Structures are given as C-alpha cells and as structure tokens.
Amino acid sequence: MSPTEPEAAAALRHARARTEALLAPLSDDELVHQISPLQSPLVWDLAHIGYFEELWLLRRATGRRPLAPEYNDLYDSFAHGRAERGALPLLTPEAARAYVAEVRAAVLEVLPELTRENFLVEMVAQHELQHGETMAQTLELGNLPGPPPHGPPDVEASGDVLVEGGPFALGSDDPWAYDNERPQHVVEVAAFRIDRGLVTNAEFAQFVEAEGAALPAHWTRDGQPAPSEPVQHVSFDEAEAYTRWAGKRLPTEPEWEKAVKTLDGELEHARGAVWQWTTSFFEGYPGFRAFPYAEYSEVFFGNGYRVLRGGSWMTDPLVARPTFRNWDLPDRRQIFSGIRCASDV
Ligand code: AVJ
Ligand code: FE
C-alpha cells in the first residue's frame, strides 16, 4: 500500500486479504457444500462479495453494464434464502475467484472517479469484512480450519462500574457509519451499573449445572470449554436467562454505548472479543433515513431482531466501532455472541 493510496482503497485491499486468508485452507468441496441451513455455501459468500462490489462501484456509481445479468438472481441476498443457495447453479470456486478478481481490477481502475462516492467504497469494504465474519461462523459450524486466531482472548475482569445518569449522544455521523447508526441524537439514560468483564465459560458452566440449561453450541472444537474464555454462541434467550439467574440483566443498547463512550478503558474487551446481546430491538433511530439501500437495515426493523454490540474476535476493527449495530433473532447462536451483564443501581 502506498502512503498516497486513499484510505478507502486500502480498506478494500485489507478486506480482500482477509477473505483470501479465510478461504485459502479449504478444498473446493468444502467451499461448495451447504454446511448449515443458517449459512450460505462459502462459495456463495465469495461471489456475493464480488456481486455487491460490482453493483455499487461499477454499475451504480460508474454506470457500467452488468458483467452477467444472471448474477442478480444468484447473488442478491433477497432472491433466495440461505438454506436454498447450495442448490443454485452457483459459480465454481475457480469461476467465483476469477469473478471477484475481475470486479476488483475494474474497481481499482475507476477508483479515481469515485472520490465523491467514498462512502460507497467504504461500505463495500465493510460489507466484505462482515461477510468474512459470516464465513467464519460457517467454518465453526462445519468444524473447518480457519486462519488464526481460533477463538476469543482470555478475559479476567471482575466487578462492575457505575455509569452516571444523564444525557449522552447515541449514534454517529462519521463518514463510515451505516444508516442505522444515524443520526446521532441525544438520549437520556438513568444511572446503572455494568460489569467490567464478559461472562466466562466457567461462569456459564455454573448456570448450566444449577439450572440444567443447554450447553452453548460449539463450546469449543474439542468439546472442552476453556474456562477463562468468554462464553460465546449463546442465544439472546440463553443470555437473558443467564443474567436473571445471576441476579442481573442485559444492558439496553443506549446503556451499552454510553458505558463504552464514557468509561473509556474501564470495560474489558468492550470490542473485539464477543458480540454482546442487548435488550433493544433493532429499529431505526429518530429521523432514520435508509441510505444507500433499504435492504441493509430498514427491512429488518420491527421483526423481533435484537441488537448486539461490540464485535467479536472475528470482527475487523473497521467494523467494531462503538456505534456499530449488529442484529440477530433471539434464538440464534451461530454468531460469536456472548454476555456482558448490567444491573440497576
Ligand atoms: C449486520 C451481520 C446482520 O449478515 O445480514 C451482509 C450484514 N448485510 N450483507 C447480515 C450484511 C448485507 C448483516 N448483519
Ligand atoms: Fe451481503
């Protein structure tokens, strides 16, 4: 990367390096296999990454013709559910690699024309990084090898801290922010307490023993929980049950963000260990406007999705912003989701 290379182009390059590292250890059979009905075949994610980049940076931003009209049906995420994608006439791994490389070469050529569309370039880079995390979930579900790291970092912190009541600015107006983080607006949050650390496997094991709760899925690859790692692959429902058993509760989304923005450094692994469930439903902030496309966020509003915050050990730092909002259904546990407890004062 040359020092004059725009930040957005560097982000594209960085995202591609991650995608390649994730997929490099896999055979063609592993790439085309429908590993789980919750996930796409990995080769679908790969071609979809290229399709999304072509759609936004070549077709929409610079008016290029589609490279292949049938990709609209194959690789648009709303055309077919994930469980059906293994049965589609998808590109082979070799053809998918050639397609994403062809798109990227064309994008690098037109990049100087895209300086006023910087948001779109950044969005495309983030999209690829997000699919990197989705692909890592698929690897975990299929017990397939991925690049290091192979799990979350150990965590230690104990105790909790007080977050003072009062207003704070929720959301972001930064150039990288998605529509669902905008507009930044002031909200009032009553005083509450939040745990400095994440719930560990050792702590969750006590809950499992006491309550006969189910073991988290894929606790570890060899079936032995590493006691000091944060528990992950717990659903919202399991996370909430744990907090009730522990005499605590999950934070709301504004509480989580306020704690991270105001207690700088006091929370351990606020970002980059496991996603943390909040009680908040995924909805638009007041004044929300879909941008640049309603299918990123808006179509999920009002459908019972819960928000997760913070980012996992597989989340790229570009994505793990303090304002970034992830979401999933309350019974899902394929994501790298864990628990940070809060409580009333
Ligand atoms: C933000 C992870 C919920 O996978 O549905 C990828 C990210 N959006 N392509 C998802 C996304 C379009 C999104 N999540
Ligand atoms: Fe996508």
Q: Which atom of ligand 1 is nearest to the CA of 133?
A: 2
- Tell me how far the alpha carbon of residue 236 lies from the centroid of ligand 1, in angstroms: 18
Task: Provide, rounded to the nearest whole percent, the portion of the chain with pLDDT above 70.
Answer: 96
**pLDDT of amino acid 1:** 37
**pLDDT of amino acid 220:** 53
* pLDDT above 60 for 221: no
Point out the ligand nearest to the CA of residue 75.
2
Band the pLDDT of 3: cuts 50, 70, 90.
Answer: very low
**pLDDT of amino acid 328:** 98
Can you tell me the distance from the alpha carbon of 255 to that of 250, in angstroms, rounded to the nearest whole number? 10
Question: Which positions ≥6 away from 260 have C-beta within 8 Å?
Answer: 267, 270, 271, 309, 310, 322
265-306 pLDDT, tens digit each: 899 999 999 999 999 999 999 999 999 999 999 999 999 999
- Tell me how far the alpha carbon of residue 202 lies from the centroid of ligand 2, in angstroms: 35
**pLDDT of amino acid 126:** 96
Point out the ligand nearest to the CA of residue 294.
1
Band the pLDDT of 212: cuts 50, 70, 90.
Answer: confident
Q: Which atom of ligand 1 is nearest to the CA of 335?
A: 2
**pLDDT of amino acid 213:** 75
58-108 pLDDT, tens digit each: 999 999 999 999 999 999 999 999 999 999 999 999 999 999 999 999 999
225-264 pLDDT, tens digit each: 799 999 999 999 999 999 999 999 999 999 999 999 999 7
**pLDDT of amino acid 7:** 82
Ligand 1 pocket, residues with Cβ under 6 angstroms: 77, 127, 130-131, 134, 296, 326-327
* pLDDT above 70 for 219: no
- Tell me how far the alpha carbon of residue 222 lies from the centroid of ligand 2, in angstroms: 31
Strand pairing category for 275-281 and 185-189: unpaired
Band the pLDDT of 117: cuts 50, 70, 90.
Answer: confident
80: burial class by Cβ within 10 Å (0-12, 13-18, 19+)? middle
Q: Which of 124, 129, 130 to mutate to test the pocket of ligand 1 (most atoms within 8 A of CB)?
A: 130
**pLDDT of amino acid 157:** 85
- The residue whose CA is least distant from atom 8 of ligand 1 is 296
- The residue whose CA is least distant from atom 2 of ligand 1 is 326
122-135 pLDDT, tens digit each: 999 999 999 999 99
94-110 pLDDT, tens digit each: 999 999 999 999 999 99
- The residue whose CA is least distant from atom 7 of ligand 1 is 130
The mean of the pLDDT values for the chain is 93
SS (H, E, C) the chain: CCCCCCHHHHHHHHHHHHHHHHHCCCCHHHHHCCCCCCCCCHHHHHHHHHHHHHHHHHHHCCCCCCCCCCHHHHHCCCCCCHHHHHHCCCCCHHHHHHHHHHHHHHHHHHHHHHHHHHHHHHHHHHHHHHHHHHHHHHHHHCCCCCCCCCCCCCCCCCCEEEECCEEEEECCCCCCCCHHHCCCEEEEECCEEEECCCCEHHHHHHHHHHHCCCCCCCCCCCCCCCCCCECCCCCHHHHHHHHHHCCCECCCHHHHHHHHHHCCCCCCCCCCECEEEEEEECCCCCCCCCCCCCCCCHHHCCCCCEEEECCECCCCCCCCCCCCCEEECCCCCCCCEECCCEEEC
